[in-house]
Amino acid sequence: MENSMGGKVVLITGGTSGIGKATASALASMGAEVVVTGRNPERGERAVEEIRRDSGCNVSLMLADLTVQSEVRRLAEEFQERHDRLDVLVNNAGVVQSTRTETPDGIETTLATNHLAPFLLTNLLLDLLKKSAPARIITVSSEAQRWGKVDPSDLQSERKYRGMPVYGMTKLANVMFTLDLAERLKGTGVTATCMHPGAVNTSFGANNKGLGTLLFRAFKPFMRSPEQGADTVIYLASSPDVEGMTGKYLSDRKTIVASGQAYDEDLRKRLWEASEELTGLRVAA
């Protein structure tokens, strides 16, 4: 296992805590050069020190608030200035919110963070990923995708906002994005997969109120550790067994079937176009 990722460059969003941090530690231990993103400089540096201590390896921090599109663009630009390759991109950062808020761009925060940030960042880094092929894109989704419904006419949940269904909708959007991406990347040597980490005991959603959060806290002692939650991400990022695997949704290293909406090609096309519009991104089809 040691050095199986030697020479590879990995970017992990939200890599300063929870699943992202556990993934960073594991991949750095395998010899990868790991870059993690975080919002808070103090917490970020502390996390990077801990990862270095655990893995004794090459880990660095890039600061970006992924709710803000100009910061996502800056992150992509700075990453490409510092690195001439990207072998693995892990879209891990996410939020769940009990009340509706908007980002500085005027976009509903859960959608902006969980779907539009990975959509924009991945598209901005595609050329570098293709240049580095074989390369892998892994997006952390969730079985909460089964509670979500994607409605392209109300992606920002302006008509009705309920925390968990909106979170579920963004996690379903992650799966739909992955399936579309896999189609678009055929023949490039770049693969796209997504996964469900299981119920993981992290600080995720700790700032929320409501019944769901109380239940979440009650079940915390029975939840997986961040290391257990990160297992499938690490597998998808590093294992030779999944070389060439693309357009799949996994849980516990096994391919599973997502919610029915994920396989509606017309709906996926509408989501992609709406996402391009909301991010100001125009991608040549």
Catalytic positions: 167
- Residues whose CB falls within 8 Å of the CB of residue 265, separated by 6 or more in sequence, listed in order: none
**φ/ψ (deg, to 5) at 101:** -130, 165
The answer to whether 223 and 202 have CB atoms below 8 angstroms apart is: no
- Asked if 6 and 31 touch (Cβ cutoff 8 Å), the reply is yes
**Of 90, 61, 55, 28, the residue nearest 233 (C-alpha):** 90
- Token pair, residue 230, equals 């990160």
Q: Exposure of 131 by Cβ count < 10 A (0-12 exposed, 13-18 middle, 19+ buried)?
A: middle
Helix (H) or strand (E) holding 193: strand 190-196
Distance CA 128, CA 276 (A): 20
Helix ranges, 30-157 (H): 41-55, 69-82, 109-111, 117-131
Q: Is the four-CA dihedral 27, 29, 30, 33 of positive or negative sign? A: positive
